[in-house]
């Protein structure tokens, strides 16, 4: 499977590990340019909490660090060296602006597109993920699973799971803790599982 990936320069891993057991899905909580800029300039360019990949809303895939390395993004977890992190461009939870038809995200950026509505972890409105992202995510996950012999299995929901660090397959940040909201309810886990399973047929 040929996947077009653009490598981002100026980012460094903190160590090497070819023993990958899990793919972890997260999101940016801001636009991709803002997210990349924040990672590039935080701590004078020495920030070490990096994902391996970023998938923008238009489906383009960017790579921060090689897959056979790790960063300190999950340093509190016992298995952080064995995880490949894929981050999706997404604003996350949104707050309705009572003065007009817009919404704002957690840093005050205005959002005027359609929203996904569902009460979850104290929030009601969510920035949708895109079909282009889901397609790119599926292709990238299949490729990584085959390269690192990771089982093509998915947790399939965003509820916290005790012992998730031992899970072998694809999980989300919200499976690790109840204090985060990625991936949000706007992610169609059932649809993703379906297209992922179709890839295996």
Q: What is the pLDDT of residues 37-80, one digit of tens each?
A: 999 988 777 788 999 999 999 999 999 999 999 998 877 777 88
- Report d(CA 89, CA 26) in Å as an integer: 9
Tens of pLDDT, residue by residue over 100-122, are 778 999 888 888 889 999 999 99
* pTM metric for this prediction: 0.94
Q: CB of 86 within 8 A of CB of 52?
A: yes
Q: Which one, of 7, 8, 67, lies nearest residue 40 by Cα?
A: 8
- Report d(CA 51, CA 62) in Å as an integer: 10
Query: Where on the phi/psi map is residue 185: left (φ > 0), alpha (ψ -120 to 50), or beta?
Result: alpha
Domains plus CATH for the chain? 5-90+132-200 (3.40.80.10)
Position 33 pLDDT exceeds 60: yes
């Amino acid at each position: 499977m040929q996947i077009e990936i653009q490598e981002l320069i100026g980012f460094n891993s903190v160590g090497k590990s070819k023993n990958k057991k899990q793919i972890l899905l997260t999101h940016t909580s801001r636009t991709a340019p803002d997210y990349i800029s924040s990672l590039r300039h935080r701590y004078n360019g020495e920030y070490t909490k990096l994902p391996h990949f970023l998938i923008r809303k238009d489906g383009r895939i960017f790579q921060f660090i090689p897959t056979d390395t790790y960063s300190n993004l999950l340093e509190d977890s016992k298995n952080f060296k064995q995880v490949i992190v894929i981050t999706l461009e997404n604003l996350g939870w949104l707050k309705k602006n009572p003065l007009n038809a817009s919404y704002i995200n957690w840093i005050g950026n205005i959002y005027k597109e359609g929203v996904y509505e569902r009460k979850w972890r104290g929030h009601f409105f969510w920035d949708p993920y895109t079909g282009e992202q889901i397609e790119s995510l599926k292709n990238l996950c299949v490729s990584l699973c085959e390269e690192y012999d990771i089982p093509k299995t998915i947790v399939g929901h965003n509820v916290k799971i005790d012992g998730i660090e031992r899970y072998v397959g694809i999980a989300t940040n919200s499976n690790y803790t109840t204090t985060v909201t990625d991936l949000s309810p706007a992610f169609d886990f059932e649809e993703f599982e379906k297209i992922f399973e179709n890839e295996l047929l």
